[in-house]
Amino acid sequence: MSVFVNGRIDEFHQHHDTDGNIVNASDGGVIYAGGRYHWYGMALQNKPFASGGRGGQVTLTGVNMYASDDLEHWEYEGVVLKTCDKEGSPLRPPMRFERPKIVYNENTKKYVLWCHYVGFPGDHGFSDAGGEALVAVSDRVNGEYSLVNISRPIDRKGYVRDSTLFKDEDGSAYFIYDRHVSQAFNPVLKPFERCLHAVKLTDDYLGFTDTWARLDACDQREAPCVVRRGKYCYMLTSGLTGWAYNRAKYFRAESPLGPWEDMGDPCAGDEEHTSFRTQGTYIFTADGRDVCMCERHNTKNFLECSYVWLPLKYRGDGTLSMEYSEEIRFWEA
């Protein structure tokens, strides 16, 4: 048996690697490869939120990775996607590799990483480097990932905000993201047009195809986390409240391209309606269970954000729920 500790709902519980350092892997994911679980995410700073690249919400180093045999003890494997101090580099820090996600392509034998990219100094905006999609690739899950491209799906009008990467059972992969269109591109829009979109990737997962859909039911939602179980894809999302907690909502569809159906709040027993004071980041599978990784953002010190894992419970009617517990036990006899 192994135990992953969430801690109390009202605290920022830190996890430490086998060297005693705080696990620093913001808004990332877990992938099982080579007989081990690999937990990765953007390395944040020991600073509060601030604009101009001065805050803890940006990275100076890149995407960290850790490995574990039991989901309890995590060994630091290093920085797998690195920033570059060279003047003029698109990877010049401070910047963001926000919400990185990794999938394996069986045909190319490559590990592919997609993320929401924000260039120097790491603040969202409505110009180049203010919100794009970045793709990088590696021969090994814990190897160094090389930059392939930085672009925007569909067209240049739609800025990339929160995103995820979903690989379906048939091997097709999708980049699902909060598409943000400003009035500068369309004066008849309301103050901002934001809705989740899904774009099918090329067979090698390194680019976008022309197959995409606006997920109409998912208007004004972000932080998508997607999993398929049987007939349905399920997507957990957050409202647009920045770092502030809000009520989760999940959706259901037979295809990643939709149409998606609004299924309401999946959080059972969440009397505060704050998603247990977390925001979802990714769904992975272990011990026969799907687990939603969440993060409790600490805007006073981003290095001390808290990671919370919530197992999903599926019902026979095609609905799901998740409950909070201070500890998650895996492989319990």
Rounded Cα gap, residues 291 and 133, in angstroms: 25
CA angle, 211 as apex, 207 and 217 as ends, to 5°?
115
pLDDT number for residue 62: 98
By C-alpha distance, which of 197, 225, 220, 233 is closest to 294? 225
**Above 90 in pLDDT, residue 327?**
yes
**Above 80 in pLDDT, residue 193?**
yes
By C-alpha distance, which of 189, 191, 190, 198 is closest to 216? 198
Helix, strand, or coil (residue 94): coil
Residues 241-276 have pLDDT tens digits of: 999 999 999 999 999 999 999 999 999 999 999 999
Q: For residues 199 and 212, is the Cβ–Cβ distance under 8 A?
A: yes
Rounded Cα gap, residues 194 and 98, in angstroms: 18
Residues 26-67 have pLDDT tens digits of: 999 999 999 999 999 999 999 999 999 999 999 999 999 999
pLDDT number for residue 189: 59
Residues 197-216 have pLDDT tens digits of: 999 999 999 999 999 999 99
Give the chain's radius of gyration (CA, Å).
Answer: 18
Residues 58-83 have pLDDT tens digits of: 999 999 999 999 999 999 999 999 99
Rounded Cα gap, residues 35 and 74, in angstroms: 14
By C-alpha distance, which of 188, 179, 190 is closest to 157? 179
Rounded Cα gap, residues 123 and 112, in angstroms: 25
Write down the domain spans for the chain: 2-330
pLDDT number for residue 127: 86
Mean pLDDT of 112-130: 94
**Tokens representing residue 90 in the block:** 């698109």
Assessment of whether the complete model's pTM goes beyond 0.85: yes
Q: For residues 189 and 183, is the Cβ–Cβ distance under 8 A?
A: yes
Q: Work out the percent of the chain whose per-residue pLDDT is above 70.
A: 97
Whether domain 2-330 has CATH 2.60.40.1930: no
pLDDT number for residue 182: 78
By C-alpha distance, which of 151, 165, 155, 150 is closest to 201? 165
